[in-house]
């Protein structure tokens, strides 16, 4: 599904952020990349949706090089959740979530049904919250909206960059539980980045531990715990 073949990323200043990465992420897999700050996690995500160009190697999605995709086609199929809550402050919650489905020219009815369904899935009552502005929601609620916005247009792949790290421990735990529901119900191919090993162990189908741009260990949570 997502395949890295000998992928490296060198930034213009010479920093090698990702070093000869070989990786295969399966369809429907919840794949977690864990490692300390600066090990290359965010860079790895940004390479997948071509936010930054790679320096060496090849990334394939469904057997096709990402460089061969039309950039919009590529990004429309990849939902992206950022660490910082990144909702548009002047737009309502519903408008924020509707952005990508509307770009894809989904009809109004379909968009509305989808938003209803997703908001309810994460415990945000549609009637109460759809017309509010982001500033009228708590941090945890805003990040929930960030997550469902990335899922709204039913992308094939979801990339999540430490989506819960800015939240208080209670909200974080609730959102992790939501994630487990997503995982069960949606079975989306997900690449989730975190520096928190407990979060990785809780959520992952498979965990990849990165250090200095390289993979140092890869396996299921069970494998990592029983064979550290």
Q: Which is nearer to ligand ADP, 17 or 93 (CB)?
A: 17
Residues 92, 98, 107: CA angle, nearest 5 degrees? 130
25 token code pair = 């992420």
Q: How many CB atoms lie within 10 A of CB 78?
A: 23
129 touching ligand ADP, by CB under 6 A: no
Going through the chain in order, the beta strands assigned E by DSSP cover: 2-10, 16-25, 30-34, 56-61, 64-65, 78-81, 157-161, 189-194, 206-211, 214-219
CB atoms inside a 10 Å sphere around CB 116: 14
Per rule CB under 6 A, is residue 76 in the interface with ligand ADP?
Answer: yes
Q: Does residue 39 bind ligand ADP (CB under 6 A)? A: yes
Q: Please report, for residues 164, 188, 197, the alpha-carbon distance to residue 49 in angstroms, rounded to integers and kept in the order given.
A: 21, 16, 25
Quick check: 147 binds ligand ADP (CB under 6 A)? no
Q: Is 43 in the site for ligand ADP (CB under 6 A)?
A: yes
Q: Does 42 bind ligand ADP (CB under 6 A)?
A: yes
Applying the rule CB under 6 A, the residues between 77 and 106 that interact with ligand ADP are 80, 100
Q: What angle do CA 113, 118, 124 make, to 5 degrees?
A: 110
31 binds ligand ADP, rule: CB under 6 A:
no
Q: Does 190 bind ligand ADP (CB under 6 A)?
A: no
Q: Which tokens in the block code for residue 156? A: 């094939």
User: At its nearest, how many Å lie between ligand ADP and the CB of residue 80?
Assistant: 3
- Least CB distance to ligand ADP at residue 162 (A): 8
Nearer to ligand ADP, 55 or 174 (CB): 55
How many residues bind ligand ADP (CB under 6 A)? The answer is 19
| Residue 14 or 127 having the CB closest to ligand ADP | 14
Strand order in the sheet with 2-10: 16-25, 2-10, 56-61, 64-65
Q: Which residues bind ligand ADP (CB under 6 A)?
A: 11, 13, 15, 17, 35, 37-43, 49, 51, 72, 75-76, 80, 100
């Amino acid at each position: 599904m997502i395949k890295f073949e000998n992928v490296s990323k060198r930034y213009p200043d010479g920093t090698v952020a990702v070093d000869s990465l070989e990786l295969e992420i399966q369809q429907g897999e919840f794949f977690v990349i864990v490692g300390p700050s600066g090990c290359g996690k965010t860079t790895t995500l940004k390479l997948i949706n071509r936010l930054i160009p790679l320096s060496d190697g090849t990334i394939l999605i469904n057997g096709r090089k990402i460089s061969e995709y039309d950039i919009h086609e590529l990004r429309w199929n990849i939902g992206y959740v950022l660490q910082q809550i990144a909702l548009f402050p002047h737009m309502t919650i519903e408008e924020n979530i509707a952005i990508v489905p509307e770009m894809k020219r989904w009809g109004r009815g379909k968009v509305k049904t989808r938003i209803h369904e997703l908001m309810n899935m994460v415990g945000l009552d549609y009637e109460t919250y759809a017309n509010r502005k982001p500033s009228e929601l708590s941090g945890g609620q805003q990040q929930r909206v960030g997550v469902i916005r990335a899922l709204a247009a039913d992308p094939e792949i979801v990339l999540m960059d430490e989506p819960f790290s800015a939240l208080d421990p209670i909200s974080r735990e609730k959102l992790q539980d939501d994630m487990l529901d997503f995982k069960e119900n949606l079975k989306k191919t997900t690449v989730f980045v975190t520096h928190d090993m407990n979060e990785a162990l809780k959520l992952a189908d498979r965990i990849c531990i990165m250090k200095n741009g390289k993979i140092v260990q890869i396996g299921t949570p069970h494998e990592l715990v029983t064979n550290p």
